[in-house]
């Protein structure tokens, strides 16, 4: 098989990606699992269509719901036998959220995560790193304050905008 043929996914795999683009995250129903970066790979293993999923946060209670939603959507599309494969390494990072996904979060009223700070070979810093300001998703003011480390889910922190006085959630970069 040539390199070109290997890169070209089968019609079944392409159809599966199209279906997966429509499966929304159960906790943030404006972003697809693909744009969230949870769907890592779709591959054929003999007759089985395998969907590789990396949950956003280990122990995220939505993981089972996500696997179920993926199976249900693909079964409805009659793409043959389906299996989901949980892949926990490498760990999911907010850097995997697509630009389209980050825009959807902002429109939904959740401040999207910025890039994950590079740790590199720097010595471990035990003092609190100064976080860049989180802009308000409604009025874009950077005059905001964090009012709680956790929002509706552990993945999000609760903020308040000091300009428009609206509370909002921030998807924390990890």
Which positions lie near Zn ion, rule CB under 5 A?
136, 138-139, 141, 161, 163-164
Q: In this complex, which beta carbon is closest to Zn ion, that of residue 109 or of residue 173? A: 109
Q: How far is the CB of 15 from Zn ion (least distance, A)?
A: 42
Q: How far is the CB of 151 from Zn ion (least distance, A)?
A: 16
Q: In this complex, which beta carbon is closest to Zn ion, that of residue 93 or of residue 141? A: 141
Strand locations in the chain (E): 39-45, 48-53, 82-86, 110-111, 144-148, 156-161, 167-171
Strand locations in 75-161 (E): 82-86, 110-111, 144-148, 156-161
Q: In this complex, which beta carbon is closest to Zn ion, that of residue 26 or of residue 133? A: 133
With vertex at residue 57, the alpha carbon angle to CA 59 and CA 102, rounded to the nearest 5 degrees, is 150
Q: How far is the CB of 32 from Zn ion (least distance, A)?
A: 27
Q: How far is the CB of 144 from Zn ion (least distance, A)?
A: 7
Q: In this complex, which beta carbon is closest to Zn ion, that of residue 91 or of residue 162? A: 162
CA nearest neighbour of 107 among 99, 95, 119, 116: 99
């Amino acid at each position: 098989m040539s390199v070109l043929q290997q890169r070209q996914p089968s019609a079944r795999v392409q159809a599966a990606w199209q279906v997966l683009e429509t499966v929304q995250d159960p906790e943030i129903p404006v972003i697809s699992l693909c744009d969230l970066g949870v769907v890592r790979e779709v591959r054929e293993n003999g007759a089985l269509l395998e969907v590789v999923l990396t949950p956003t946060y280990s122990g995220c209670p939505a993981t089972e719901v996500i696997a179920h939603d993926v199976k249900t959507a693909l079964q409805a599309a009659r793409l043959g036998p389906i299996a989901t494969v949980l892949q926990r390494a490498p760990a999911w990072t907010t850097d995997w959220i697509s630009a389209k996904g980050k825009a959807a979060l902002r429109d939904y009223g959740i401040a999207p995560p910025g890039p994950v700070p590079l740790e590199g070979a720097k010595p471990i810093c035990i003092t609190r790193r100064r976080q860049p300001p989180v802009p308000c998703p409604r009025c874009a003011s950077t005059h905001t304050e964090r009012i709680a480390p956790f929002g509706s889910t552990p993945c999000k922190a609760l903020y308040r905008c000091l300009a428009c006085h609206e509370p909002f959630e921030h998807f924390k970069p990890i």
